[in-house]
């Protein structure tokens, strides 16, 4: 995130989850000014639906895919994957 002074370094002070995304209050590490950013998440479409077999059980490979998808979703929510953010307002 860029501060008005042109610095690229900032720290997050406060985070608010709102309907359209995430609003963050940041503080520039150089000039110590506060500024806000608005981040909107892309929702990645589900490409593969995994269904249990006739007895209601999942295969080992399917369980691994489900767990991997859960981790990816959690990381996106926790902002560990910044490529999913499309909009920054400063």
Q: Which comes out higher in pLDDT, residue 83 or 38?
A: 38
Please report whether residue 30 resides in a domain: yes
**pLDDT at residue 81, rounded to an integer:** 44
The three-class DSSP label of residue 12 is strand
Residue labelled with tokens 């307002």: 89
- pLDDT one-digit tens code per residue, 56-82: 888 888 888 888 888 877 777 765 544
Please report whether residue 4 resides in a domain: no
| CA gap 86, 42 in Å, rounded | 7
The total of other beta-carbon atoms located within 10 Å of residue 62's CB is 15
The dihedral through the CA atoms of 9, 87, 4, 26 has a sign that is: negative
Please report whether residue 34 resides in a domain: yes
Q: CA dihedral in degrees (37, 13, 11, 73; nearest 10)?
A: -70
Please report whether residue 3 resides in a domain: no
- pLDDT one-digit tens code per residue, 2-56: 777 888 888 889 888 888 788 889 998 888 888 888 888 776 665 677 778 888 8
Whether 88 shows a pLDDT value over 80: the answer reads no
Domains identified in the chain, total number: 1
**Domain of 41?**
10-84
């Amino acid at each position: 995130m860029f501060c008005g002074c042109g610095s690229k370094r900032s720290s997050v002070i406060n985070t608010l989850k709102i309907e359209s995304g995430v609003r963050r209050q940041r503080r520039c590490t150089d000039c110590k000014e506060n500024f806000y950013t608005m981040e909107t998440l892309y929702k990645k479409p589900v490409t593969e639906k995994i269904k249990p077999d006739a007895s209601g059980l999942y295969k080992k490979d399917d369980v691994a895919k489900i767990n991997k998808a859960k981790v990816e979703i959690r990381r996106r929510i926790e902002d560990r994957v910044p490529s999913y953010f499309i909009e920054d307002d400063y």
